[in-house]
């Protein structure tokens, strides 16, 4: 072949396409780094702003004390910031949510993978996923003005009537409390947990299930002796992911938890969560108050990150889970 000058003709076109490749790669790399940069900035800038508060208060005192008395300084930390009440509220509502959501989600997962015929399972999966599409503020409004007064309050009063001698069920039932927030939270996290456990149950080797059937096991016995034991890490991982979501949930909890200022023993009394406190007091906070709220946010973030990381490590041990189910 005769050699043509490199700047003209078909060889030039090939050269241009070849050069475009590294440029393309840089663009894609840049986009990927964006994710890392955003996360690093998030952790970095918020932690930096929070440090003066932690230093002034002392980490142990910040985490366990119960006095939140913001100062009004524009330059230094003068208030008392102890997040015990909010940490307690966050943990209690999330615990209630998990205790209620986990059995339901496992039941859904088992039903859809081992009991329901495929044609029934597909639309049911779709419907359960729809629960995840409802925005948090809608859950809050519905919970506050319908579900709590109409369904949860009578239930709570019944429980409190029978078991009110136990401090955690003591009455009277306040119109906004841990229980209401926790139950609505449970409804919100059921789709997340059930999506993952469904994947986990479906990943149980077919051969083992069939072997159990072949030995005469009933459907339930197969679930109990094959599917569930094999799925334990995945269930734990799914639980922790649901828990992580519950810890960070803001608006529905803010509307239902009651703005309490002290640690109350009964789940039928008011409380306050970290996220709700941030969103409620943000607009009126002085610069030092905002730093204190950031410190609260960093605490919450640390908590949810630890739980999320642990969950993903555990779920990963069960094999790859699709991004759609996890997100």
Partner 1 sequence: MTSAAPVARPSLRQASGPARRRAAFSGAMNALLAAAVLLALIPLGLILAVIVAKGLPAMNWEFLTGTFNFSRRESGGGYLHGLVGTLYMGGLAALMAIPAGIAAAVFLTEFPRHPVSGPVRFFSDVMTGVPSVFVGLFVYTLLVRRIGFGTFVGAVSLAIIMLPIVVRSSEEILKLVPGELKRASYALGARRWQTVLSVVIPTAAPGLVTGAMLAVARALGETAPLVLTALAANQVVFDLQGSGQSALPLLIFREARGAFEAGQQRAWAGALELMLLVLVLTVLARLIGARRPAGT
Partner 2 sequence: MNADLLGAGATFPDPLYQEWIGAFVGDNPGVTITYEPIGSGGGVEQFTAKSTDFGGSDAFMTDDELAAAQDAWGCDVVHIPTVFGAVAVAYNLSGVESLTLDSETLAAIFLGEVTQWNDPAIADLNEGVSLPDEPVIVAHRSDGSGTTSIFTTYLDDESADWHDQVGKGKEVGWPVGVGGQGNDGVAAAIAQNDGGIGYVELSYAIQNDLSVASMVNADGKAIEPSLESTAAAADGIEIPDDLRFSILDVGGDGYPIAGATWILAPTCGMDATKADALKAFLTWALQGGDGTAEELLYAPIGEALQDKALANVERINEGGQ
Q: Which of residues 54-93 bind partner 1 (CB under 8 A)?
A: none
CB of 324 to partner 2, least distance (A): 37
By beta-carbon proximity to partner 1, the closer residue of 122 and 232 is 122
Cα separation, 286 vs 111, in Å, equals: 52
- Chain centroid to Cα 15, Å, comes to 50
The residue ranges that bind partner 2 (CB under 8 A) are 67, 69-70, 72, 74, 149, 171-172, 174-176, 258-262, 270, 272, 280-281, 283-287, 289
Stretch that binds partner 1, among 68-76, 77-85, 195-203, 214-222 (CB under 8 A): 214-222
Contact call for residues 197 and 235 (beta carbons, < 8 A): yes
CB of 224 to partner 1, least distance (A): 8
* CB atoms inside a 10 Å sphere around CB 73: 14
Contact call for residues 193 and 102 (beta carbons, < 8 A): yes
Task: Respond yes or no on whether the N-terminal peptide bond of residue 172 is cis (omega within 30° of 0).
Answer: yes
Three-state DSSP state, 68: strand
11 interface partner picked from partner 1, partner 2, none, CB below 5 to 8 A per type: none
Q: Is 13 in the site for partner 1 (CB under 8 A)?
A: no
Query: 95: closest CA among 287, 303, 322?
Result: 303
49 interface partner picked from partner 2, partner 1, none, CB below 5 to 8 A per type: partner 1
Contact call for residues 114 and 228 (beta carbons, < 8 A): no
CB of 164 to partner 1, least distance (A): 25
By beta-carbon proximity to partner 2, the closer residue of 163 and 313 is 163
Query: 65: closest CA among 76, 53, 77, 47?
Result: 53
CB-neighbour burial class of residue 230 (10 A; exposed 0-12, middle 13-18, buried 19+): middle
CB-neighbour burial class of residue 289 (10 A; exposed 0-12, middle 13-18, buried 19+): buried
67 interface partner picked from partner 1, partner 2, none, CB below 5 to 8 A per type: partner 2
Cα separation, 75 vs 314, in Å, equals: 44
270 interface partner picked from partner 2, partner 1, none, CB below 5 to 8 A per type: partner 2
| Structure-token pair, residue 203 | 């990943």
204 interface partner picked from partner 2, partner 1, none, CB below 5 to 8 A per type: none
By beta-carbon proximity to partner 1, the closer residue of 6 and 265 is 6
Residue 166 C-beta-side C-alpha neighbours within 13 Å: 9
CB of 25 to partner 1, least distance (A): 7
Q: Is 283 in the site for partner 1 (CB under 8 A)?
A: yes
| Interface pattern 27-56 for partner 1 (x via CB under 8 A) | xxxxxxxxxx-xx-xx--xx--x-------
| Interface pattern 170-189 for partner 1 (x via CB under 8 A) | -----------------x--
Contact call for residues 270 and 93 (beta carbons, < 8 A): no
Strand partners of residue 80: 69
Query: 313: closest CA among 237, 214, 255?
Result: 237
284 interface partner picked from partner 1, partner 2, none, CB below 5 to 8 A per type: partner 2
Q: Is 304 in the site for partner 1 (CB under 8 A)?
A: yes
By beta-carbon proximity to partner 1, the closer residue of 30 and 161 is 30
Footprint of partner 1 on 237-256 (CB under 8 A): 241, 244-245, 247-251, 255
| Interface pattern 120-149 for partner 1 (x via CB under 8 A) | ----x-xxx-xx-xxxxxxxxxx-xxxx--
């Amino acid at each position: 072949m005769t050699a043509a000058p490199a700047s003209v003709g078909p060889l030039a076109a090939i050269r241009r396409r070849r050069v475009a490749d590294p440029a393309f790669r840089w663009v894609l790399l840049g986009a990927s780094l964006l994710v890392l940069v955003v996360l690093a900035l998030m952790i970095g800038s918020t932690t930096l702003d929070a440090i003066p508060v932690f230093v002034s208060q002392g980490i142990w005192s910040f985490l366990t004390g119960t006095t939140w008395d913001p100062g009004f300084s524009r330059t230094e930390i003068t208030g008392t910031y102890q997040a015990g009440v909010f940490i307690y509220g966050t943990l209690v509502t999330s615990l209630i949510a998990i205790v209620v959501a986990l059995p339901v989600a496992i039941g859904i997962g088992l039903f859809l993978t081992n009991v329901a015929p495929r044609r029934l399972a597909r639309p049911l999966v779709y419907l359960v996923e729809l629960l995840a599409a409802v925005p948090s503020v809608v859950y809050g409004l519905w919970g506050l003005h319908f579900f709590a007064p109409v369904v949860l309050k009578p239930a709570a009063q019944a429980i409190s009537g029978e078991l009110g001698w136990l401090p955690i069920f003591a009455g009277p039932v306040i119109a906004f409390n841990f229980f209401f927030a926790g139950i609505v939270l449970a409804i919100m996290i059921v789709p997340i947990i059930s999506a993952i456990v469904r994947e986990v149950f479906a990943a149980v080797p077919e051969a083992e299930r069939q072997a159990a059937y072949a030995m005469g096991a009933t459907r339930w016995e197969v679930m109990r002796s094959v599917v569930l034991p094999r799925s334990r890490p995945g269930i734990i991982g799914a639980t922790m992911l649901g828990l992580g979501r519950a810890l960070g949930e803001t608006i529905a909890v803010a509307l239902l938890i009651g703005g309490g200022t002290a640690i109350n023993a009964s789940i039928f009394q008011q409380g306050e969560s970290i996220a709700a406190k941030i969103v409620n007091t943000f607009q009126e906070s002085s610069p030092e108050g905002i730093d204190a709220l950031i410190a609260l946010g960093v605490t919450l973030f640390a908590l949810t990150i630890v739980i999320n990381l642990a969950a993903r490590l555990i779920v990963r041990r069960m094999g790859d889970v699709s991004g759609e189910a996890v997100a």
